[in-house]
Structure 1
Amino acid sequence: MTPLARIIAARIRASGPMSLADYMQTCLLDSRHGYYATRDPFGARGDFTTAPEIHQMFGELCGLALAQAWMDQGRPAPFTLAEPGPGRGTLMADMLRAIKVAPGMFEAADVVLIEASPHLRQVQQERLGAVRHLDTVEHLPKKPLFLMANEFIDALPIRQFQMTPEGWRERLVGLSGDGALELGLGAVVPLPRKGAPGEIVEDCAAGVAVVEEISRRIAAHGGAAIFIDYGTWDGQGDSFQALRNHRPEDPLAHPGEADLTAHVDFAPLAAAALRAGAMPSRLVTQGEWLLSLGAEARARRLAEAGDEGAMTALARLTGPSEMGHLFKALAIWPRGAPPVPGFQPLERHADHA
């Protein structure tokens, strides 16, 4: 057992089985043994590689999309340029370089990072200098907000429910007879939906709350937000997973030493934006979105300038068998404002990608 596994087992023995949400929160953010609190998980030496770490063009195109949205909304100043879950700060660094093409935008930006990990805060400050950190999106300033979130929602805690002959029951982390962590079922929960026997559904209340809070800021003060993650529209099924040393493994095997995520269901996020008074987009694939912004032309220019990895990176970021189709993008902007570049407005609650 890992040190954190022993702590979790003791907690279960004392208080009973815990929800997957509590388990994920503990594994990722425990102050002494949590995954993000103790390591830099990104890149070849870590456990996974994100799009900004693959090539600079990803962050540049994200920055240019926000820059066009900023200009379309009348160049508000000052404004907040924010990123939740900013990793090493690579994406923000590339965006800050890109937005300099919009006169006055760089100077008007109040850069804010939402980061819970003290370790990663230090990494980000080393990369970006003296930036402001916040613990949660609730602390974002009440002024125009332009926000980019890449692979953020997938790491927020989820709960799972399984349909049984008695009805929906929550899946919980408990202990087996020999003291190992295992999944089991709790009491019946009155979910307002139907399900086939054995069917599993997931609920990411934290993700919905984050998007609703950001959307309220945008509806009231202007701005735009772009969320990119792997997932689907109206997703269901068991997507809870762990990644360690770039390989999938049992999410209960090494608490605190593996990245825990779940696929994002984008439909509730769009509904949250609508409730908050903002306009969500139709869902698009990452590949479709990047190509609509000129990713291919940018990669060719970089290749002609001597960047030997540009075309390979383009294929990885946009290719259907790579990140291009697995990852999806959702944008949010004020009602009545022009859409964020590369997106179309969601016309009805039932719309999908």
Structure 2
Amino acid sequence: MLRRVAAQASTHYRRLLTASSPTSTPHVHFPFRQCSTSYTSNSNFVEHLEDSDSTFPSPSSTKISIDRSGLHNPSEHFHGPTSDSELVKHLKGIIKFRGGPITVAEYMEEVLTNPKAGFYINRDVFGAQGDFVTSPEVSQIFGEMIGVWVMCVWEQMGRPNKVNLVELGPGRGTLLADLLRGVSKFKNFTESVRIHMVECSPALRKVQYQSLKCEGEDGGDENEGKQVVSTMTCSPVSWHATMEEVPAGLPTIIIAHEFYDALPVHQFQRASNGWCEKMIDVDENSLFRFVLSPRPTPATLYLVKRSKWTETEETAKLSHIEICPKAMDLTQTIVKRIGSDGGAALIIDYGLNGIVSDSLQAIRKHKFVNILDNPGSADLSAYVDFAAVRHLAEEVSENVTVHGPITQSQFLGALGINFRVEALLENCTDEQADSLRTGYWRLVGEGEAPFWEGPDEHTPIGMGTRYLAMAIVNKEIGVPVPF
């Protein structure tokens, strides 16, 4: 199948697959984010909740106050020992000030993006010395394949002479660096590209500036929105805190790789009185604990919205449900931009093509840890509800179409990753060849690599079927490669 697809590809497509040689030092290969969440199927979805729109208006038009009277109120002296981190003190302070617990989503957002102590804000959390390794850190060919997809979409758009290329949460900038290196010989494309990095971490912005070999003013907070130039392709580069800040008016190609999974989720648990939101409180020993809200919360509106896209049989046996309002809001922003300006978005993440149960997890130094243990020291992430993204996108605009999800293995295979690996193997050392084979398996394989002969703890684990790819495109583009 792959040879048939490759044979139908355009001339620039084949040139890109063989254009560049492997980097002098292949990316390191370490265990990446690994999820071991089990799901039971189905539950009576909005038990004890009203289904009518009059009872639960749209999230954008209604505000609901949380009645905390029935929740545990911590004692006045809950601060505990002075060994608490600044983030822990901050979280406990919020709970004390409110006189009651906070949502899991509020906790997650503070843990990941608190301006002073958030997990992503002031350090490099990626790679061997970090807490997890993402696909771009596994092998250079991942970014190169994304480059193939971007160029194919650009051609389907009619080769516009100006196009915004946006990455949400670029990490170290490795994906875009590999992408730009792979397409650097295609001047018509590189001259059209305006690069926009949506990144809230000052520390990571500095790393991205170096990864893209930028020149000009530093890409720090004080220069937000100002352009520098990547010397890899002479393309202008800008940094922004949110997608909304990316200038409108140009066709836009958006890459969201492992971005949706870090958006804060609300968790609901089935109780005797129906679906109750899980909250985080402080117990009498000054430790964080989970409690349930006795009454509907603002996030209940999103739970009801999600229920309209779900068959009752799908959720009949579930005891937990996760809802991600920020993913819905982001999808709406992306769809409106693509619907009005033209372009496409590619979402690659681990998730399900259906409603998500209890998937939230914490990863510290490549190991799973308790979610409430030492907040700010571990990454928090949850499965992406791809079905919700699709349903919302189709509701928001008639000018877009949604394709997928398909597995990462199918996506990369149809783009020609096999041929790219073969081309690289012809011009590399034995050590580089081993790294390429290992990286290839991690990107497209399933389970443990059968060829591995090293230490068991370093056995490559394939994520080709656990990661999914979805495209949202303007209708004028047609069906994007390789969907």
Aligned-partner Cα distance in 1 for 2:386–2:318: 23
For the pair 1:81 / 2:165, whether they are aligned, the reply is yes
Question: Which residue type is aligned with residue 93 of structure 2?
Answer: A
Aligned to 1:235, what secondary structure does the other structure show? coil
Write out per-residue CA displacement over residues 168-215 of structure 1, whole angstroms, 9 at most, x where no aligned residue. Answer: 111001112211011110133254346658711111111121122112
Corresponding residue number in structure 1 for 2:411: 289
Please state how far the C-alpha of 1:103 moved relative to its aligned partner: 4.2
Q: For residues 31-63 of structure 1, what are the alpha-carbon distances to aligned partners after superposition, in whole Å with 9 as ceiling and x for unaligned? A: 111101121000010000000011110000001
Cα distance change, pair 242–43 in 1 and its aligned pair in 2 (3 A): same
Unaligned residue ranges in structure 2 (runs of 5+) = 1-83, 215-227, 229-236, 448-461
Corresponding position of 2:289: 182
Structure 2: how far apart are the matches of 1:155 and 1:92?
19
Q: Distance in 1 between matches of 2:320 and 2:132?
A: 26
- Structure 1, unmatched stretches of 5+, are 344-353
> Displacement of 1:127 after TM fit?
1.8
1:53 lines up with 2:193 in the alignment: no
Contact 2:355 2:388 in 1 (8 A): no
**Equivalent position amino acid for 1:205 in 2:** P
State the secondary structure of the residue aligned to 2:293: strand
Match status 1:206 vs 2:326: yes
Cα pair 2:132 2:363 within 8 Å, conserved = yes
Deviations 1:235-279 (A, max 9, x none): 321001100000011111021110000000001111222123311
Query: CA 1:136–1:37 in structure 2 vs 1: closer, same or farther (change >3 Å)?
Result: same
Deviation at 1:122, TM superposition (A): 1.4
Deviation of the 1:146 alpha carbon: 0.8
1:223 Cα offset (Å) = 1.1
User: Which letter does structure 2 place at the counterpart of 1:7?
Assistant: H
In 2, Cα distance between the equivalents of 1:217 and 1:166?
A: 41
C-alpha separation in 1, matches of 2:240 and 2:363: 27
Displacement after TM superposition at 1:77 (Å) = 2.0
* Amino acid aligned to 1:73: M
RMSD: 1.5
Contact between 2:172 and 2:204, CA under 8 Å: does it hold in 1?
A: yes
In structure 2, which of residues 266, 272, 277 is the aligned counterpart of residue 165 of structure 1?
A: 272
Give the distance between the partners of 1:103 and 1:339, measured in 2 at CA. Answer: 25
Greater shift, 18-27 or 136-145, is seen at 136-145
Aligned residue in 1 for 2:465: 325
Aligned with residue 401 of structure 2, among 244, 259, 279:
279
Instruction: Find the counterpart in structure 2 of residue 24 from structure 1.
Output: 108
CA distance in 2 between counterparts of 1:52 and 1:4 reads 30
SS in 1 for 2:121: helix
Q: Is the 8 A contact 1:147 1:225 kept in 2?
A: yes
Find out whether 1:229 has 2:349 as its counterpart: yes
Q: 1:304 aligns with which of 409, 418, 426?
A: 426
Residues 1:3 and 2:129 aligned together: no
Computing the radius of gyration over CA atoms, which structure comes out larger, 1 or 2? Answer: 2
Match of 1:112 in 2: 196
Distance 2:467 2:268 in 1: 25
- Structure 2 partner of 1:12: 95
Give the Cα separation in 1 of the matches to 2:340 and 2:200. 26
Please, what TM-score do these two structures have when normalized by structure 2? 0.69
Amino acid at match of 1:294: G
Superimposed CA distance per residue, residues 146-186 of structure 1 (whole angstroms, 9 cap, x where no aligned partner): 11111000001111111211111110011122110111101
CA distance in 1, matches of 2:97, 2:332: 35
Determine the C-alpha separation between the residues in 1 that align with 2:366 and 2:85. 19
Q: Distance in 2 between matches of 1:170 and 1:293?
A: 42
Distance 1:79 1:56, change over 3 A: same
Q: Percent identity between the aligned chains?
A: 36
| Matched letter for residue 330 of structure 2 | V
Following the alignment from structure 1 to structure 2, what is the Cα–Cα distance between the partners of residues 100 and 271? 37
Q: Which amino acid aligns with 2:246?
A: L
Q: Separation in 1 of the partners of 2:402 and 2:126? A: 30
> What are the residue-to-residue correspondences of 1:121-160 with 2, within 5 Å?
121-128=205-212, 129=214, 130=228, 131-142=237-248, 143-160=250-267
Aligned residues of 1:155 and 1:262 also touching (Cα < 8 A): yes
Q: Distance in 1 between matches of 2:438 and 2:426?
A: 13
Residue identity in the other structure for 1:13: K
Query: Is residue 348–residue 469 contact of structure 2 (8 Å, CA) maintained in 1?
Result: yes
Contact 1:164 1:197 in 2 (8 A): no
